[in-house]
Amino acid sequence: MIEVDAGGVARAPRDAATVVLLRPEDGGFSVFMVQRHQKSAFMGGAYVFPGGKLDEADSSAAIVDLTRGLSRDAARLALGEPDPSPGAIGLYIAAVRETFEEAGVLLASGVDPESLANARARLEGGDHFAKVVQDLGVTLDLTQLTPWTRWVTPTVEPRRYDARFFVARSPAGQRAVHDAHETTAGAWMTPQHALVREAAEEIQLPPPTLRSLEMLAAYDDIDSVFRDAAKRPPAIVEPVFRDDDGVWSLVLPGHPDHPIRDAILPGPTRFILEDGRWRSAD
């Protein structure tokens, strides 16, 4: 689940947003995940959180004017982006848009759940997100998103993304459903069950998703996730690819082979590729 272009020139990563959608379940919580289409050029067949790349329109006045709860400057500060960073609020909007596209869940106030299926179909048909939101008569609620982590694709990969991960509560009354276009399945799973399924080779998880689930499994409830996320700007994780005599690994900050000596995430500081699957390893 990695495409290596070792002889090529490192490409600049594209800005992207990912949403870890949570809901209470049996005293704990579950997370919504989608399976990417097997033919997808990036992470085909893998289970991931809803998300995608930042579009230029995500930072336009037409859609920013339909939001509440966060100014452009507040978005920049919350994400720990450099000053100036006019696209920071666009990352929040991209997160909302991609969650609606891939999961059918709209993080907004004034939502009539019965109207969402038609609105989603319009978006899939090519209508602009701002127009769809305006016609729904809703306001995108950016306060429902809390920045959590940030993962940058290794430099050896031909398709690179700088993905900001947000956590969000699934709104009451809305039903998460995969889009049956870019994704072929969707499911709510507790973090623990997702990890059990991965270990049993029932599902495949890319390293950022795997580590996110390992981190989530340590929390007892959703409130604890949000309390921790709100304490600091999101950690920037830039894995470094290594090929040691045919053994592929990704090392994280805190590993001796990573230029950043201090660990910034809980858990092991390395992933090893074994039989086509990434595993956390000390």
- Locate the domains of the chain by residue range: 14-233, 239-282
Determine the average pLDDT of the residues in 69-96. Answer: 91
Please check the confidence at residue 2 and state whether its pLDDT lies above 70.
no
DSSP structural state of residue 164:
E
pLDDT of residue 12 exceeding 60: yes
pLDDT tier at 44 (50, 70, 90 boundaries)? low
Percent of the chain past pLDDT 90, that is, above it, reads: 83
Distance CA 175, CA 161 (A): 28
CATH code, 14-233: 3.90.79.10
- Work out the average pLDDT over 233-259: 95
Nearest-angstrom CA–CA distance, 116 and 6: 44
Helix axes 88-103, 72-79, angle to 10 degrees: 80
In this structure, of 56-70, 139-153, 174-188, 253-267, the range with the lowest mean pLDDT score is 174-188
| Rounded distance between C-alpha atoms, residue 31 and residue 192, angstroms | 10
pTM score of the predicted model: 0.94
Contact at 8 Å (CB) between 18 and 209? no
CA–CA dist 211, 198 (Å, integer): 12
Counted residue by residue, the chain has a size of 282
Percentage helix, strand, coil, to 5, in the chain? Answer: 30, 30, 45
pLDDT reported for residue 83: 75
CA-wise closest residue to 148 among 168, 128, 170, 134: 168
Q: What is the dihedral of CA 108, 62, 159, 18, to 10 degrees?
A: -10
Q: Which positions ≥6 away from 178 have C-beta within 8 Å?
A: 34, 35, 102, 103, 184, 185, 186
pLDDT confidence bin for 40, thresholds 50/70/90: low
Predicted local distance difference test score (pLDDT) of residue 45: 83
> What are the pLDDT digits (tens) for 49-62?
999 999 999 999 99
pLDDT higher than threshold 90 for residue 4? no
Average per-residue pLDDT in the chain? Answer: 93
Angle (CA) 277 280 282, round 5° = 135
pLDDT attached to residue 139: 98
Judge whether residue 96 has pLDDT over 70: yes
Q: What is the pLDDT of residue 10?
A: 76
* pLDDT over threshold 70, residue 191: yes
Convert the pLDDT of each residue in 101-125 to its tens digit: 999 999 999 999 999 999 999 999 9
C-alpha–C-alpha distance, residues 97 and 146, integer Å: 15
pLDDT at 41 over 60: no
Q: How sure is the predictor about 176, in pLDDT bands with cuts at 50, 70 and 90?
A: very high
* CA nearest neighbour of 46 among 172, 213, 164: 213
